[in-house]
Amino acid sequence: MNMTKKGDIAMSLNLVEAVTLCEVGPRDGLQNEKQILTVEEKVELIDGMAEAGFPVIEVGSFVSPKAVPQMANTDDVYRAIHRKDGVEYRSLIANLKGVERAAACGCRKVKLNVSASKAHNLANLNCTPAESVAGFAACCDAAKANDIAISGSISMAFGSPWDRQIPIGDVKEIVDAYLAVGIDEISLSDASGMAFPTQVYDICTEMAKSYPQVNWWLHFHNTRGLGIANIMAGMQAGFTRFDTSFAGVGGCPFVPGAAGNVATEDVIHMCDEAGVKTGIDLDKAMAVSRRLVGILGHATDSYLLRAGKASDLIRELPTGQIKNQTEIKK
């Protein structure tokens, strides 16, 4: 039987040749943990992922320490990490104060976020998501003045508990608003864990067609076991940038049951097996994820940490023969 080469598999499935992964565990993962990691622990994990080959790492967030105490030491983490050439270290901000904090500690890339849910935004902020983005203009001006790059994110773009399905026209309104304030790098996020592959493919295809000038990212949670399938659907639509979280930690604190970002090591393993290049050393990434599990002291939603790589199952027997189950049991 002829075995199909991994590169041929990617081509036959209409996958992309290579992807760029961002490790979001230090922010989106750890902000959902009760345990607050020290600066030293975070630096160890971030440096480890940089050494594994991650080109983009989300270090933390510059938000209210009262609202998210797990991220209160982000400024100190930025000052302590051993920055590797070619690695983009980014963080989430909520307002102008976040830009000021980023500038003070040497952060060169920040990200804004808005919910795609009109109902949620109107109830909490008394304005539409697009109007919220229009209010980000001051942040964009301040970031530009401090030579800080800026991107945007649209959470729950694939569905929300308040609206169920989000009309694609609503998502486009937010994209238009981001472009109006000068942001052309945008992430579509499945914070509620409601996305499914055919939906992802349709939305991504439409967005790529309508906004060829946008540099797109996709952020999926594995809440209902569809995280990797959604990433593959995104690749089939031509998207090449994806967020992952070490050991699969994280979730959305505002959505019941929406725990679990897609695990970094699971995604790298899938890409390796399918012949899609990531530029990341899977063994080194797994070592960092194992270290995190040790720090947290509890199991996480990572298939690779439980089962190991597929290649780990292959063992050459001394006789060069495969023993049957009866012989193995003996």
| CB atoms closer than 10 angstroms to residue 12 | 10
The whole-angstrom separation of Cα 275 and Cα 55 is 19
**Long-range contacts at 276-281 (CB < 8 A, ≥ 24 apart):** 276/10, 276/15, 276/16, 276/17, 276/18, 276/19, 276/235, 277/17, 277/18, 277/19, 278/18, 278/19, 278/21, 278/53, 279/18, 279/53, 279/55, 280/21, 280/52, 280/53, 280/54, 281/52, 281/53
| CB atoms closer than 10 angstroms to residue 278 | 23
Given 107, 140, 252, 271, which residue is catalytic?
252
- Reduce the DSSP state of residue 153 to 3 states and report it: strand
At 195, which helix (H) or strand (E)?
none
252 is catalytic: yes
CA angle 140, 145, 150 (to 5 degrees): 35
The whole-angstrom separation of Cα 137 and Cα 145 is 12
Do 62 and 101 contact (CB within 8 A), yes or no?
A: yes
Do 215 and 209 contact (CB within 8 A), yes or no?
A: no
Residues annotated as catalytic are 252
